[in-house]
Amino acid sequence: MKDKFNFLKNSSVKSMFVTYAIVIVAYLVMEALMFTGSVNYLLMDLLVPLCVYSIVAIGLCLCVGYLGELSLGHAGFMCIGAFTSATFSSLTKEFISNEIVAFLLAFVIGTIFAGLFGFLIGIPVLRLRGDYLAIVTLAFGEIIKNIINVLFIGKDSKGIHVAIVDPDALKMEADGKYIINGAKGISGTPHLSNFTIGVILILISLFIVYNLVHSRSGRAVMAIRDNRIAAESVGLNVTGYKLMAFSISAAIAGAGGVLYAHNLSTLTATPANFGYNMSIMILVFVVLGGMRSFRGSIIAAVLLTMLPEMLRGLSDYRMLIYSVVLIAMMLFNWSPKFKELRSKYAGVFKRNKKSKEAV
Amino acid sequence: MSMLEVRNLGISFGGLRAVDNFNIKIEKGQLYGLIGPNGAGKTTLFNLLTGVYKPDKGVILLDGEDITGKKTTDINKAGIARTFQNIRLFKDLSVLDNVKVGLHNSFRYSVLTGILRLPKFRKVEKEMNQKAMELLKVFGLENEAHFVASNLPYGKQRKLEIARALATNPKLLLLDEPAAGMNPNETKELMDTIRFVQKEFDMTILLIEHDMKLVSGICEELTVLNFGQVLTQGETSKVLNDPQVITAYLGE
């Protein structure tokens, strides 16, 4: 019987390490290619966004696949993480010279704020049954984006000024400096993100979600997803666990936002980066990745982000091809025949391993 | 003191008085049956006892503690566990994990301990695995421990539900039609299991059942419900021979 426990432990641990290994190998290959100079600039510019989308997809996968709640506003949490951390970085960039310390602090601020907003939204919404979370998060994402577009924060010798809609209401001195300048956003954010930091953040996010899912609390979250009434009948604090999982999911999306913000010198909140389309796009990554697979979410995020860029040469046809690939992937990934094939190959893999172990 | 004492319990849905003026006293270690025709209010009564519905009248005392109107979660913590008429397992979790969710409140470590995999995590998880396997053995499910719950055959799903309920370490176990959909052999086996649980865990059990063989075979006392009201109460053999019960439920 003891062997059986070990097997269970091993199988989940194995799957986890396979994912870590894939991320690390992909990183090393990419670094090696960059070292030899065989990577074009287009792809190099894509590396950090790839990490950003992977991280947010990991966060959303926790929410959709494991908590079983649909969120259409993860771009909003990403936005919170991006703007709070970028504000912090612009305010403190004169005082903190060490780049790693500066990024760490910005990271902590961004994730905490995103998690906090997730928590605040969750308090009323997660008590309800049904698709209310999807509706509220959808609205939240849009509201946050629009508020930031009319938000003005300035700094002068007297301190920090905040105003909404009217920049003159800041009443700053002539030498005052804008931190957030309405629709023009935040400019002059220190460029602290890079591919290495992005990959490290992916690994940290994976570590958190995998360990959470395979712990007592994660079991409770999945039990609530599977049957709320039964979960209550065995004494689980349903709202509490939902809130916990949703806040962590929002915080991870916020971490993606921090990485995003520190990759750009000018950060603005536009429909393209923090709008509804982005939320849906990340949802597409999660769904195509297999809903409950963090690894799948990352792979889908990387492939679908790279695809339109790789097809750039085909100009007008690229979005057409993109949509065809999307449909093909969906049909392929969920078709019974392919599932069968996949489990067959997985079986072969395991058998090979066993026979190797036997030798 | 009785394990469960219910006084004057009642609830209405719109104009329908689903349960009215319900009284019951169950002693510790008793195996008590609740029978009655369809729609008599049996499952509604279970839902009242477990806090799914809030009664508009009456008092529920569990082991002397007033649990009337409390939330389902708190009532489970106070000591009532149940199974469901239409099986409600955590269908995508493994059989072992289903039981481990039942153990959730008895074995604790924090969210952070789980995420950081601190030594306490390994220790507590090991204890949980052992305890869960012990429970699965009682129900003969130890070989299916790593199956996904929804892949179990019907009879075993029912047993797993009882195992999960027992894992919460209750004082009172409510079984809602445990033998529904079982063949005679499975029912017989289930009767043995229920008796075993009663003896081994010194458990007080209240069960709803339509299978008269099971009811007359294991229940010590019975309450018959009809149209939300108690028709008769008492020792099993007396109740089953009561002319009123025969007319209302059993048939000539």
**Nearest by CB to B73, which of A7, A211, A237?**
A237
Q: What separation in angstroms does the CA of A7 have from each of A13, A14, A215, B146?
A: 10, 10, 16, 10
The whole-angstrom distance between A244's CA and the closest CA on chain B is 9
What whole-number distance in Å separates Cα of residue B169 and Cα of residue A338?
A: 44
Residue A154 lies in a domain: no
Flag whether A80 is in a domain. Answer: yes
Residue A10 in this model has a pLDDT that exceeds 60? no
Give the separation between CA B127 and CA B117, rounded to whole angstroms: 15
- Structure tokens given for A348: 């072969």
pLDDT band with cut points at 50, 70 and 90 for residue A348: low
Q: How far apart are CA B207 and CA B223, in angstroms?
A: 10
Q: Who contacts A173 (Cβ-Cβ below 8 Å, separation ≥6)?
A: A156, A157, A158
Pairing verdict, β B172-176 and B80-82: parallel
* A231 in contact with B, Cβ within 8 Å: yes
Cβ atoms within 10 Å, residue A319: 12
B84 contacts on A by Cβ (under 8 Å): 229-230, 233
What's residue A9's pLDDT? 52
pLDDT at residue number A156: 83
Q: Is A267 buried (19+), middle (13-18) or exposed (0-12) by CB count in 10 A?
A: buried
CA distances from B231 to B21, B24, B55, B176, B244 (A): 11, 12, 20, 20, 8
pLDDT band at A285 (very low <50, low <70, confident <90, very high): very high
**Using a CB-CB distance cutoff of 8 angstroms, which residues of chain A are in contact with residue B52?**
229
Residue A320 in contact with residue A235, Cβ under 8 Å?
Answer: no
Is A144 at the interface with chain B, CB within 8 A? no
B17: helix, coil or strand?
A: strand
pLDDT band at A106 (very low <50, low <70, confident <90, very high): very high
Count CB atoms within 10 A of the CB of residue A177: 13
- C-alpha distance from A150 to closest chain B C-alpha (Å): 38
A165-184 pLDDT, tens digit per residue, is: 878 887 787 777 888 888 88
Q: Which residue from A minimizes the CA distance to B111? A: A217
Instruction: Label the pairing between strands B4-13 and A151-156.
Output: unpaired
Q: Is residue A2 part of a domain?
A: no
Cross-chain Cβ contact A8/B90 below 8 Å: no
Q: How many residues does chain B have?
A: 252
pLDDT score at A318? 73
Mark yes or no for CB contact A212/B164 under 8 Å.
Answer: no
State the DSSP code for B24. Answer: E
Query: Do the Cβ atoms of A230 and B84 come within 8 Å?
Result: yes
Instruction: Read off the pLDDT band of B251 (50, 70, 90).
Output: confident
The residue type at A199: V
Q: How much is the pLDDT for A291?
A: 87
Partner-chain contact B88 A227, CB within 8 Å: yes
Give domain status of residue A91, yes or no. Answer: yes
Residue B4 to residues A118, B72, B106, Cα–Cα distance (Å) = 42, 16, 22
Locus of tokens 């319900």: B22
Q: What is the mean pLDDT of residues A155-160?
A: 82
Alpha helices for chain B (secondary structure H): 42-49, 72-78, 95-102, 111-116, 119-138, 154-167, 184-200, 212-218, 236-240, 243-245
Query: What average pLDDT score do residues B5-21 get?
Result: 94
In chain A, residues with a C-beta closer than 8 Å to the C-beta of B113 are: 215
Give the pair of three-digit tokens for residue A353.
């391993």
Please give the Cα distance from A204 to A188 (Å, whole number).
27
Minimum distance, in Å, between the CA of residue A224 and any CA atom of chain B: 8
The whole-number pLDDT of residue A43 equals: 85
The confidence band for B115, taking pLDDT boundaries of 50, 70 and 90, is very high
> To which residue do tokens 């509220």 refer?
A136
Partner residue facing B93 (CB), from A1, A223, A232: A223
Residues of B in contact with A8 (CB under 8 A): 94, 96, 146
Question: Chain B within 8 Å of A13 (Cβ-Cβ)?
Answer: no
Instruction: Kindly list the residues from chain A whose CB atom is less than 8 angstroms away from the CB atom of residue B67.
Output: none
CA distance B63 to chain A (A): 18
What integer is the mean pLDDT of A236-250?
Answer: 96
Minimum Cα–Cα distance from B90: chain A residue: A226
| Beta bridge mates, B33 | B207, B222
In a domain, A156, yes or no: no
Q: Are strands B221-226 and A266-267 parallel, antiparallel or unpaired?
A: unpaired
Q: Which CATH number goes with the domain that contains A44? A: 1.10.3470
- % of chain A residues with pLDDT over 70: 92
Which residues, 6+ apart, have CB-to-CB distance to B120 below 8 Å? B109, B113
Radius of gyration of chain B (CA): 19
Q: For residue A58, list chain B residues with Cβ-Cβ distance below 8 A.
A: none
Q: Is residue A358 part of a domain?
A: no
Contact (CB, 8 A) for A202 and A47: no
Integer Cα distance of A62 and A55 in angstroms: 11
Which of chain B's residues have a Cβ under 8 Å away from the Cβ of A1? 133, 142
- Expressed as residue numbers, the domain containing A80 is 15-147+189-310
- Tell me how far apart the alpha carbons of residues B146 and A191 are, in angstroms, rounded to a whole number: 49
Are the C-beta atoms of residues B244 and B231 closer than 8 Å to each other? yes
DSSP state of B1: -
What distance in Å separates residue A218's CA from the closest CA in chain B?
9
Dihedral through CA A293, CA A295, CA A298, CA A299, nearest 10? -110
Backbone angles phi and psi of B184, in degrees to 5: -55, -40
Residue in A closest to B109 by C-alpha? A216
pLDDT tens, residue by residue, A172-229:
877 778 888 888 899 888 899 999 999 999 999 999 999 999 999 999 999 999 999 9
User: Residue range B99-111: average pLDDT?
Assistant: 96
pLDDT tens digits, residue range B40-79?
999 999 999 999 999 999 999 999 999 999 999 999 999 9
A6 touches chain B (CB under 8 A): no
Q: How far is CA B19 from CA A318, B8, B23, B44, B48, in A?
A: 66, 10, 11, 7, 9
Nearest alpha carbon to residue A233 among B174, B132, B138 = B174
- Shortest CA gap A300–chain B (Å): 23
Instruction: Give the number of other Cβ atoms within 10 Å of residue A260's Cβ.
Output: 28
**With an 8 Å Cβ cutoff, is A335 touching chain B?**
no
Rounded Cα distance between B128 and B167, Å, is 10
Q: What is the pLDDT of residues B172-221, one digit of tens each?
A: 999 999 998 888 998 999 999 999 999 999 999 999 999 999 999 999 99
Cβ distance A233 to B82 less than 8 Å, yes or no, reads: yes
Chain B's closest residue to A238, CA to CA, is B73
Q: Is 90 exceeded by the pLDDT of residue A129?
A: no
Chain B residues whose CB is inside 8 A of the A5 CB are 126, 129
Q: Which residues on chain B are in Cβ contact (under 8 Å) with A216?
A: 100, 104, 107-109, 114, 124-125, 128
Residue A111 is assigned to a structural domain of this protein: yes
Whether A217 sits inside 8 A of B114 (CB atoms) is: yes
Separation of alpha carbons B100 and B82, rounded Å:
16
Mean pLDDT over A116-121 rounds to 96
Candidates A216, A221, A222, partner chain B, best to mutate (most B CBs within 10 A) = A216
Total count of domains within chain A:
1
Strand-pair partners of B195? none
- Asked whether the beta carbons of residue B115 and residue A1 sit closer than 8 angstroms, the reply is no
Q: Compute the nearest-CA separation of B219 from chain A (Å).
A: 24
The residue in chain A having the minimum alpha-carbon distance to the alpha carbon of residue B74 is A235
Q: Say if A236 falls within a structural domain.
A: yes
